[in-house]
Amino acid sequence: MSQEPESKPPGEPAAKRDELPSGREGHTPDFSPAEVQRRLRHPVSFFRRTREHLIEGGVFLCGVASILAISLIFIFLFREGLQALRMVDTPLDFVYSMGVQLEYDAGIDDVVAVGEAPQLAWQPVSEEPKLSMIPLMWGSLGVALLASLLSTLAGIGVGIFLSELASPRLRGVVKPMLELLVGIPTVVIGFVMLAIVAQPLRQVAEAIGLSGVYGSTYNMFVGAVGVSIVIIPVIGSLVDDALRAVPDDLRAASLGVGATRWQTTWRVVLPTGVSGVFGAVILGFGRALGETMIVLMCAGNAAQITGNPFDSVRTMTAAIASEMGAAQVGGVHAQTLFLVGAILITITFLLNLTMELVVNRFRRKIRL
């Protein structure tokens, strides 16, 4: 549009927009269009073409390298893990093992062996190794589910706060802090939980009458709280990103028919950003599943199947981290740990795949 200076009221700030960088004031553009055209319309130079090829090649190589690295990890883990399968009689040994069943005999006031029964036990260094992975999976799943339960709501709340309520300035302070929290070495969080939080938590639990069920000071719940410290910021930050990707037009439309801020968030912004929110939650779950240091330090590290969240558990990750060093190289214990790793990476891979599929589907549906 023509905004000739003479039609502009003098001395108004609108003039600022048109100001050129200092030193160019009063300068009139002067060039020959034909000359510029000639310089633009030449065949692509050898140098430019080569540069293009080089960049393309470089990017391609980076991509190939990372795919290669991941594939190698997969191949390595599975190769080692499959050896464990060859070292046992049947793959069912990783599910259960037969063990002596003891029963209390009142006559002699002692326990006696009454026969054999299947057991779900992870006792890899006993004389006859018991290699059921179920207790480890139970521990991993328990911690990850409990941590997700604790952090999904909190994380979504943090995300909504950042994207819908916080002023830009507040957000500019809080978001970097969150991201800093994600970057804290997990061993530090584990240590803090172990040394400072676990004991008071137990006291609180006992004070509110939970002493009967509070099994161990270091337990699944403490581990899950520790893991939550890491994944709440992860989920919060991703939910914030997802909600901020929702066009402001939609907020205006909703507020424009008289919706409140909360109604707008709940009925328009969240449903529109649901794929991102979902992705954030899955990612948080995956992160919880893979978390090692915190659970190793705080969850008690006792491989057992328990329905009580206040009992100790050992996760798959903690088992690998704590046992690999002591396991005999090439022995069935070490190979089984590789198999545990292979299963873990497969689960994580499948989780990510689901997330991609679901997120993409949603995204296509709402054209975000």
Partner 1 sequence: MSVLPKQAVKAPSPPPARPAPPGHYLEVKNLSVHYGETQALFEVSFGTEKNTVLALIGPSGCGKSTLIKAVNRILELTPGARIDGDVLIEDESIFGQKVDLISLRQRVGMVFQRPNPFPKSIYDNVAYGLRIHGVKDRSTVDDVVEWALKHSALWDEVKDRLRTSALELSGGQQQRLCIARALAVQPDVLLMDEPCSALDPIATGKIEELIMSLKQDYTILVVTHNMQQAARVSDHTALMWLGKLIEHNRTEEVFTNPKEKITEDYITGRSG
Q: Is 39 in the site for partner 1 (CB under 8 A)?
A: no
Strands (E), 64-199: 97-105, 110-119, 122-123, 130-131
- Taking residues 154 to 173 in sequence order and writing x for each that binds partner 1 by CB under 8 A, - otherwise, the string is --------------x-----
Phi/psi at 204 (5° precision): -60, -45
Q: Is 257 in the site for partner 1 (CB under 8 A)?
A: yes
- Token pair of 227, please? 């893991």
Q: Is 18 in the site for partner 1 (CB under 8 A)?
A: no
Q: How far apart are CA 161 and CA 165, in angstroms?
A: 5
- Token pair of 232, please? 């709440």
Mapped onto helix, strand or coil, the DSSP state of residue 291 is: coil
Mapped onto helix, strand or coil, the DSSP state of residue 211 is: coil
Q: Is 251 in the site for partner 1 (CB under 8 A)?
A: yes
Out of 5, 209, 212, 258, name the contact with partner 1 by CB under 8 A.
258
Q: How far apart are CA 100 and CA 113, in angstroms?
A: 6
CB closer to partner 1, 20 vs 208:
20
Given a contact cutoff of 8 angstroms between Cβ atoms, the answer to whether 85 and 91 are in contact is yes
- Say which DSSP state 194 is in: I
- Taking residues 193 to 232 in sequence order and writing x for each that binds partner 1 by CB under 8 A, - otherwise, the string is ----------------------------------------
CB of 178 to partner 1, least distance (A): 22
CB closer to partner 1, 12 vs 35:
12
Phi/psi at 32 (5° precision): -95, 115
CB closer to partner 1, 7 vs 45:
7
Angle (nearest 5°) at CA 191 between 190 and 193:
65
Out of 141, 250, 302, 351, name the contact with partner 1 by CB under 8 A.
250
CB closer to partner 1, 14 vs 117:
14
CB of 283 to partner 1, least distance (A): 22
- Taking residues 112 to 151 in sequence order and writing x for each that binds partner 1 by CB under 8 A, - otherwise, the string is ----------------------------------------
Q: Which amino acid is at 333?
A: H
In order, the DSSP letters of 32-74 are -HHHHHHHHSSPPPHHHHHHHHHHHHHHHHHHHHHHHHHHHHH
Displacement of CA 172 from its chain's centroid (Å)? 23
Given a contact cutoff of 8 angstroms between Cβ atoms, the answer to whether 161 and 342 are in contact is no
Given a contact cutoff of 8 angstroms between Cβ atoms, the answer to whether 222 and 268 are in contact is no
Q: Is 365 in the site for partner 1 (CB under 8 A)?
A: yes
Q: How far apart are CA 199 and CA 312, in angstroms?
A: 14
CB of 232 to partner 1, least distance (A): 27
3-state helix, strand, coil in the chain (%, to 5): 65, 5, 25
Out of 151, 186, 216, 272, name the contact with partner 1 by CB under 8 A.
272
- Taking residues 329 to 358 in sequence order and writing x for each that binds partner 1 by CB under 8 A, - otherwise, the string is ------------------------------
Q: Is 90 in the site for partner 1 (CB under 8 A)?
A: no
What is the total count of residues that contact partner 1 (CB under 8 A)? 35
Q: Is 249 in the site for partner 1 (CB under 8 A)?
A: yes
Q: How far apart are CA 115 and CA 92, in angstroms?
A: 20
CB closer to partner 1, 103 vs 249:
249
In this chain, which stretch among 7-15, 225-233, 234-242, 294-302 interacts with partner 1, using CB under 8 A? 7-15
Q: Is 271 in the site for partner 1 (CB under 8 A)?
A: yes
Q: Is 10 in the site for partner 1 (CB under 8 A)?
A: no
| Contacts with partner 1, residue ranges (CB under 8 A) | 1-3, 7-9, 12-14, 16-17, 168, 247-260, 263, 267-268, 271-272, 365-368
